[in-house]
Amino acid sequence: MIGALFSFRGRIGRLQYFLTALGVGFVALLVIGAFFLNLMSAYFGRGAVHGGSLVGLGLAMLLLAPLILWIGLAVQAKRVRDIGWDPILVIPALWAFSFVDSLVAQAVPALRVLPAGHQTIVGMAVSLAYTGCLLFWPGEGSGGVLPSDSDGQDERRPEPTFQPAPQPSAWPVAAARTGFGRRGA
């Protein structure tokens, strides 16, 4: 289960994606919140704050940031693949669009969504649409598609074949026996 968080192969459904993103976000929020809460209490002098605890929380943030980024990208790639898109194209394209949108927001402050923000309304709409697709778009994995192999090709399950039930005339003569089971003859 834990190994599935770090792998970029395979697919992940909507509910699994949502719960994983929620869990990873919660852990990140706890670490960042503890760091800033400790920092604020040290700044305002309301609490026994030791320099070691602040450094320890800062180190935890620095060590967890790449881990959280890796897990986030792995889960996104799996979900994008489940939708039927190619994560090698979609995720870098979204990053490139976000970078250009940020440059436009910095160059033309009137287009920013928030006064101190780094996104335009178009960038916010694209981010919201992408997140909505990841959360609500039905995946191809729910219709008989197995997780992809290492070569990235999908295998389809064979269609079930319909076999009618045998007719009573084809049943063995053993039905005329009076006993129960094999030994009852």
Name the residue ranges covered by the structural domains of the chain: 8-84, 85-139
Residue of higher predicted confidence among 69 and 39: 69
What string of H, E and C letters represents the secondary structure of 123-174?
HHHHHHHHHHHHHHCCCHHHCCECCCCCCCCCCECCCCCCCCCCCHHHCCHH
| pLDDT, tens digit (0-9, with 9 covering 90-100), for 19-49 | 999 999 998 888 888 878 877 777 777 655 5
| Cβ–Cβ < 8 Å for 10, 148 | yes
In this prediction, residues 109-125 reach a mean pLDDT of: 90
Burial string for 107-135 (b: 16+ CB within 10 Å, else e) reads eeeebbeeeeeebbeebbebeeebeeebe
Q: Tokens representing 28?
A: 């990140």
Q: Give the predicted TM-score (pTM) of the model.
A: 0.65
